[in-house]
Amino acid sequence: NAYLNNAATTPVIDEAIEAMNDVLRHAWGNPSSSHRVGYAAKEALEQSRATIAECLGVDADEIFFTSGATEANNLAVRGACMARKGESRRIVTSSLEHASVTRSVRGMRREGWDVEHIEDVAGNFDMEQLHRALLKPTTLISVMRVQNELGWLLPVPEIVAARDELAPSALVHCDATQSFGKLQTLPRDWGVDLLTIAGHKIGGPRGIGALYVKRGTQMFTNAFGGGQERGLRSGTEPVFLAAGFAVAAKKACENREANLAHAYGLKARFVEGLHDAAPDAIVNSRDDGSPYIVNVSLPSLFSQDLLDFLGERGIFISKASACTENHTTVPKGTWRPKHPLSLQAAGIPLKLGKSTIRVSFGFDTTVEEVDLLLQGIKDFSNMG
Ligand code: PMP
């Protein structure tokens, strides 16, 4: 088998499973309870928070657990804006954001906020458009670090520099879901105020993520209730998920350089081999992007047919981000844009949409798996 869909999710590493088992057996209490059972859970939760903070180079009290990146992104956009309703009521974001940002921003627009999308065609984020955009008073800038379909890097530190110069009162939020644990992700060095991460892209469990909130940043909550996570995210904390997340994050961050070198090798091997496997292939990813994500258009085939063919061989890739795949029943062979921004916004012609695949590597992906995929693409292409 070759699981090459790690940008969608990753298998949970053994160490995380063990840590979660341990918490479920021995620290299963409610962290808010004022007795020994609760204290044990609280201690486990705070240890996990400290570990994740350390990976990011921030303080533990700047980390707020959420149910995942989606919730962290919703909270970042809505929570930052709702706390600043008296101000400019304007959001600047990129045209390549994940739906959890895009749709949160759209919600704010429905409430009367002004929104501007900065173009990023072929991986060239339009800094000039950003500079013009920031001449108007701005409340929030929300930009991702690694684009989840294409692996392109957005110039977050440069965007922060533009904010500092032109719109110093604007907050910067970064969705670092595909960056954390894989590429260096340092919110303080970058100068962002809010940063989203998730556990399941790096060998942790699904259902947990976190929002970094720079100390002193006023935020409004999206989840009302018992006041957990210092009022920002009510709901009894899933202590075992936090433990699994922390273990996976620590391992990923400790091995980041070695993992990265390995991923660059896999990407190079795949891209090189592709010219032989499918001579008309167009690589949409960039050399300077994340090596964990390779996006390719194969104009002479339908990606779903290729996925079916590969799937029978136990090779798993994706044709579009899993977040929006298969939510509606679409007859085989037809293709519909996932959401209005998708690949078209990135400058990939609409007609290639149905022929575009995403291959995403994990820390344990082997060259043999890459070769299996290449052979599969070649065999499928040769079937005519
Ligand atoms: N942002 C990005 C960049 C992502 O890749 C994803 C996952 N596809 C998310 C947000 C949402 O993550 P989750 O489904 O874990 O909430």
Helix, strand, coil % in the chain, rounded to nearest 5:
40, 15, 40
Q: What is the pLDDT of residues 22-53, one digit of tens each?
A: 999 999 999 999 999 999 999 999 999 999 99
> How much distance in Å is there from the Cα of 179 to the middle of ligand 1?
11
User: Phi, psi (5° rounding) for residue 2?
Assistant: -140, 100
Per-residue pLDDT, 347: 86
User: Phi, psi (5° rounding) for residue 66?
Assistant: -135, 180
**255 backbone φψ class: left, alpha, beta (φ>0; ψ -120 to 50):** alpha
> How much distance in Å is there from the Cα of 373 to the middle of ligand 1?
25
Q: What is the pLDDT of residues 250-280, one digit of tens each?
A: 999 999 999 999 999 999 999 999 999 999 9
Q: What is the token pair recorded at 41?
A: 């859970």
Residue 331 pLDDT exceeds 90: no
For ligand 1, pick from 145, 178, 318, 339 the residue to mutate: most ligand atoms within 8 Å of CB: 178
Per-residue pLDDT, 320: 65
Rounded CA-CA distance 214/191 in Å is 9
With beta carbons less than 8 A apart as the criterion, state whether 40 and 27 touch: yes
In ligand 1, the atom with minimum distance to the C-alpha of 198 is: 15
Helical segments of the chain, H only: 14-26, 36-56, 69-82, 99-110, 127-133, 156-166, 187-190, 239-254, 256-277, 303-312, 342-345, 367-382
In ligand 1, the atom with minimum distance to the C-alpha of 67 is: 16
Tokens 């990976």 found at? 55
Please give the span between the terminal C-alpha atoms of the chain, in angstroms, as a whole number: 24
Residue 336 pLDDT exceeds 70: no
The pLDDT of 125-138, averaged and rounded, is 97
Measured from the Cβ of residue 303, the count of other Cβ atoms closer than 10 Å reads 22
> How much distance in Å is there from the Cα of 286 to the middle of ligand 1?
21
- Please provide the average confidence, as pLDDT, over all residues in the chain: 94
Q: What is the pLDDT of residues 339-372, one digit of tens each?
A: 444 678 888 888 888 899 999 999 999 999 999 9
> How much distance in Å is there from the Cα of 155 to the middle of ligand 1?
19
Q: What is the pLDDT of residues 303-327, one digit of tens each?
A: 999 999 999 999 999 986 544 444 4
Q: What is the token pair recorded at 266?
A: 């896999």
Residue 335 pLDDT exceeds 50: no
Q: Which residues are catalytic?
A: 323
> How much distance in Å is there from the Cα of 38 to the middle of ligand 1?
31
> How much distance in Å is there from the Cα of 321 to the middle of ligand 1?
9
**Which residue, among 151, 141, 149, 143, has the nearest Cα to 183 in the 3D structure?**
151
Q: What is the ipTM of this complex?
A: 0.99
**Percent of the chain with pLDDT strictly greater than 70:** 94
Residue 152 pLDDT exceeds 50: yes
How sure is the predictor about 328, in pLDDT bands with cuts at 50, 70 and 90?
A: very low
Q: Which domains, from first to last, does the chain contain?
A: 2-9+256-382 (3.90.1150.10), 14-254 (3.40.640.10)
Q: What is the pLDDT of residues 51-90, one digit of tens each?
A: 999 999 999 999 999 999 999 999 999 999 999 988 789 9
How sure is the predictor about 156, in pLDDT bands with cuts at 50, 70 and 90?
A: very high
Question: Which of 236-245, 285-294, 298-307, 331-340 shows the lowest per-residue confidence on average (mean pLDDT)?
Answer: 331-340
**Which residue, among 249, 213, 194, 186, has the nearest Cα to 52 in the 3D structure?**
249
Pocket lined around ligand 1, Cβ cut-off 6 Å: 68-70, 73, 98, 100, 144, 148, 175, 177-178, 198, 200, 209, 321, 323
For ligand 1, pick from 93, 98, 179, 180 the residue to mutate: most ligand atoms within 8 Å of CB: 98
Write the CA distances from 349 to 143, 147, 305, integer angstroms.
Answer: 23, 18, 20
- Looking from the CA of 283 toward its CB, the CA atoms found within 13 Å total 21
Q: What is the largest CA-CA distance in the chain?
A: 68
Q: What is the pLDDT of residues 226-242, one digit of tens each?
A: 999 999 999 999 999 99
> If you take atom 10 of ligand 1, which residue's CA is the nearest one?
69
In ligand 1, the atom with minimum distance to the C-alpha of 321 is: 8
Rounded CA-CA distance 379/384 in Å is 9
Rounded CA-CA distance 93/95 in Å is 7
The string of DSSP codes covering 156-173 is HHHHHHHHHHH-TT-EEE
> How much distance in Å is there from the Cα of 70 to the middle of ligand 1?
6
> If you take atom 7 of ligand 1, which residue's CA is the nearest one?
8
